[in-house]
Structure 1
Amino acid sequence: MIDLTYFKAQFETLQQDNPDGEIASIRKESFDVFNKTGLPTYKTEDWKYTSVSSLFELVYHQGKHTVGIADLEALRMPGHHKANELVFVNGRFDAALSNVLSPADEMTVLSLKDAINGTYSDLLRKHLNQSSTYIKDGVHALNGAFIDEGVFVHVHKGKIPQHPIYVYHIMDGRTQPILAQPRNLIYVDENSKLQLTETYATLGTSDSFCNEVLEMVVEQGAFVEYYKIQNDVAHANQVGTTHITQVGRSYVHTVTVTLGGGIVRNNLNLILDAEGDETHLYGLYLLKGKTHADNHTLIDNKQPNCFSNQLYKGISDDSSTGVFNGRIMVQPDAQKTNSFQSNKNILLSDNATINTKPQLEIFADDVKCSHGCTVGQLDEEALFYLRARGIPRDKAEVLLLQAYAADIIAQIKPMAIRAYVEKLIYDHLSIV
């Protein structure tokens, strides 16, 4: 069962060390929500297919680590020598392992504490923790209660940085179970561009639990590409919230790829708060073993003439479980909205499970919206066609599954990252 005494002691220590300011106030408010709501259960509608209670049966640690440059080298993504690398170890930003290449007139990277106590005070007070207005469960609140050593990134007005951002989340589980709770805020200013890729890795054999919240604000004329790659070990668990608010007419493109982990829950919220906003959401979850991957998406159309397109595909094998819950909201003022959603799934095993729930909530009368879902198996005729040409069944299945995933992978625009993900998928499918 959850050890409230442990979390209370950790929270009080953190507040004593940092007693003043807006962040301490957010921590206090969040911890009160955590105490009041507790952990979500199967009776909680948004969590009816996913239980996280088992993640709180361990005694976690959040302290020192021994991660060095040699550990990072093994995890680096292609093109890293031309990227801004932000490294988080056990949920805390590690400046010594990180490397910011973009000049100061293009991009600013500060700790949340320095940002809220300096030039960006008003901006952070307005936008930090806005995700809590949409996500009110205890897991999200727990992250807010432990905001510490996160970063604020500002892509400056009119700038298109030559260097993308790579974010590495490393959990050092070589000596003890680890709880990591990174919290970051990104502000993409007017007429600027951001390309961001996040990846995750657990070192060692101890369990890890990464409870992440990333908040992003996108201004007028800005362009955002966001890629999330999850290929961690079976004893690594994640609950991640990515909350993106388009406050000006802008374009957002996201791709989430989930290949490995224990219990994985992704909350992706897009708030279209300016007329003419456009957003595209793509996802692929390719599951084996006992991996449980739950993708929850929300597109909240608040203003007129917005467009969104969403395509998620799943493949479940062995005893794995895939969950998709996509929710589209069209507010009364959001006339002329075009919003489309599709979820397609393949089951490869009698013991695998898929739960899919597309949702439309429309409060405007002049809109075009659609949703749909499918669950099926590999086409036996296609398999027969390949096998009749001398291709063994296992290799034929790999070819068909690669083709099935291809239209999602094609949405990864940086060629180096796309090739990297294609290799991960091939290796994953080829494991006997």
Structure 2
Amino acid sequence: MSTLTKQDTFSSLIEAAPNNFASARATGKEAYVFQGLPAVKAEEYKFTNISKKLEQNLTDFSTAKPLPLTDAQVKAAVHEGFEGSVLVFSNGQFIPGLSSKIDEVEVSLISEKADLPIGSIANPKKDVFAALNQASFQDGLFISVPKKTQVDKAILLLSFDEANEGQVIQPRVWIEVGDFAEVTFIDQTVSVGESTYFVNEVVEVKGGINSQIHYYRLQNEGKNAIEVSTIETDIQKDGRFSSVNISLSGDMVRNNLNLNLKGSNSEGNMYGIYLLNGKSHVDNHTNVDHTIPHAESNELYKGILADQSRGVFNGKIFVRQDAQKTNAFQQNNNILLSEDATVNTKPQLEIWADDVKCSHGCTVGQLDEEALFYLQTRGIDKLQAKGLLLYAFAGEVLEKIETESFREYCDSLIQERLGSKF
């Protein structure tokens, strides 16, 4: 097996990893060494030079220790109207003492599940940061929703991050949802300060037959945060996985979302908004793999970019030879509000089957001047009219959030950013 050298950026982090999950960690380490951090011309990171960003901004390549938190801090961070359960993380580590007890759901530390097949869903050979996490994560959260269980209220995964000296935060979550079960997760991070740190998150989701999983994610990190997030799920027969990702802040953010449709009549839905200003850089990489006949995927990502911000969208849909009767839709739409804002978009569709309905496309443009003029003739000032048009553009994604309190919270954040509130 390949070995690390002292020159490897994260070598000390990997060597300091716990000694559990030895086989999985060895696989992660080997995959990390084999791939190495992305080079400037690496195709998958062509428009996101995260290696340079890490080398320039991190000074301490060690694991950040958990922050001291209080019940009052947790309560203050939960959005108004939320009635579900809260699972608290501090710098990537699960904090049981500040978290809710969920009667119908098993929640424990990953370290308590010695036989858990870490990396069997989020393959470390696909991406070097998934490999890094697998090789060096400290501990993580295990969540199991039993067969036929309907979790009526959402589960909030609430993370508090603050790491001085450019340290590393590595959340690891394993979620399994039994046959005929249904659950909603909200993944939200609170940046306690404005320091520079690196978050490298991996979430593996194992969906059962006819399971219904909703996963909503709000990224509103501090302006100096660097983040790579990898979420991957296996979707079985008659199962449905729906994701909404909202990115509002951060220095450089890379989102990897991978859906594996492994059963007939399975469905994967991916929706996203990236609303960027300043010099924020957000890269959304999505992958849908159709391997079985009679499956469906829907994808819609929208970007609004101002100032010197940069957005990247790279969506891939694979329809394998046996995946006849596949329906797959993919669309990426963007509005640029500044001459200095940039978007690189690359929707991709690869089909090996011949009886399918698939489409993909992208648009990049500016606000509709006629619509803007129309609103102004109705007595709405130009700034607010602009905000209303942008909010209407984003609303098609927001309406995909089925948890009302969270949808209203995101709605408020976006309206405030866009200046569309009356």
TM-score, scaled relative to structure 2: 0.93
Contact 1:155–1:192 (CA<8 Å) still a contact in 2?
yes
1:2-41 → structure 2 map (5 Å cutoff):
4=7, 7-15=10-18, 18=19, 20=20, 23-41=21-39
**Aligned CA distance change for structure 1 residues 367 and 197 (closer, same or farther; 3 Å):** same
The one-letter code matched in structure 2 to 1:393 is K
Deviation at 1:4, TM superposition (A): 4.2
- How far apart are residue 309 of structure 1 and its match? 1.0
Return 5+ residue gaps in structure 1 as ranges. Answer: none
2:348 paired residue among 359, 374, 385: 359
CA distance in 1, matches of 2:225, 2:126: 24
Using the alignment, how far apart are the partners of 1:403 and 1:113 within structure 2?
45
In the alignment, the residues of structure 1 paired with residue 258 and residue 8 of structure 2 have an alpha-carbon distance, to the nearest angstrom, of 32
Partner of 1:137: 127
Question: Amino acid of the residue matched to residue 156 of structure 1?
Answer: P
Cα deviation, residue 55, structure 1: 1.7
Report the counterpart of residue 153 of structure 1 in structure 2.
143
Instruction: Indicate if the aligned counterparts of 2:67 and 2:90 stay in contact, CA closer than 8 A.
Output: no
Q: Distance in 1 between matches of 2:100 and 2:385?
A: 43
Cα separation, partners in 2 of 1:6 and 1:339, compared to 1, 3 Å: closer
| 1:50-80 alpha-carbon deviations (Å, 9 max, x no partner) | 1112123312342434331233233222344
CA–CA distance in structure 1, aligned partners of residues 393 and 159 of structure 2: 29
Q: Which amino acid aligns with 1:32?
A: E
Q: How many residues align?
A: 412
Opposite residue 73 of structure 1, the aligned amino acid is K
1:331-377 deviation per Cα after TM superposition (whole angstroms, max 9, x unaligned): 11101101011111101000000111000111111111110111010
- Note the residue ranges of structure 2 that are not aligned, 5 or more in a row: none
- Write the mapping of 1:13-92 to structure 2, written as runs, cut at 5 A: 13-15=16-18, 18=19, 20=20, 23-53=21-51, 54-57=53-56, 58-60=58-60, 61-69=62-70, 70-80=72-82, 82-92=83-93
Matched, 1:262 2:265: no
Q: Closer, same or farther in 2 for the Cα pair 1:67/1:360, shift >3 Å?
A: same
Deviations 1:58-105 (CA, angstroms, capped at 9, x unpaired): 12342434331233233222344x3221111111111122222x21xx
- CA drift of 1:211 comes to 0.6
Equivalent pair of 2:309/2:342 in contact (CA under 8 Å): yes
Residue 154 (structure 2) aligns with: 164
Give the distance between the partners of 2:402 and 2:126, measured in 1 at CA. 33
User: What amino acid is the match of 2:132?
Assistant: L
State the match for 1:307 in structure 2. Answer: 296
Which AA in structure 2 matches 1:50?
Answer: T
- In the TM superposition, residue 148 of structure 1 has moved relative to its aligned partner by 2.3
Tell me whether 1:245 sits opposite 2:234 in the alignment. yes
Structure 1 partner of 2:168:
179
Change (3 A) 1:260 1:151: same
2:211 aligns with 222
Q: Which consecutive segments of 4 or more residues in structure 1 shift more than 6 A?
A: none
- CA offsets, 1:292-326, max 9 Å, x none? 01111111001000011111111111000011111
1:389 is the counterpart of 2:391: no
**Identity over aligned residues, as a percent?**
40
| Whole-angstrom distance in 2 between the partners of 1:341 and 1:10 | 38
Task: Identify if the C-alpha distance between structure 1 residues 340 and 5 changes in structure 2 by more than 3 Å, giving closer, same or farther.
Answer: closer
What amino acid sits opposite 1:59 in the alignment? T
User: Using the alignment, how far apart are the partners of 1:260 and 1:325 within structure 2?
Assistant: 19
Q: Is the 8 A contact 1:178 1:206 kept in 2?
A: no
SS at 2:113 equivalent: helix
What amino acid is aligned across from residue 94 of structure 2 in structure 1? F
- Counterpart contact for 2:67–2:91, Cα < 8 Å: no
Equivalent residues of 2:236, 2:264 under 8 A apart:
no
SS of match in other structure, 1:191: coil
Q: Aligned letter for 1:10?
A: L
Residue by residue over 1:227-259, the C-alpha shift from the partner in whole angstroms, topping out at 9 and shown as x without a partner, is 011112211121101101113320111111111
Supply the distance in 2 between the matched residues of 1:379 and 1:205 (Cα, whole angstroms). 36
Q: Which amino acid aligns with 1:147?
A: F
1:279 correspondence with 2:277: no
Amino acid at match of 1:378: L
Q: How far 1:388 sits from its partner (Å)?
A: 1.9
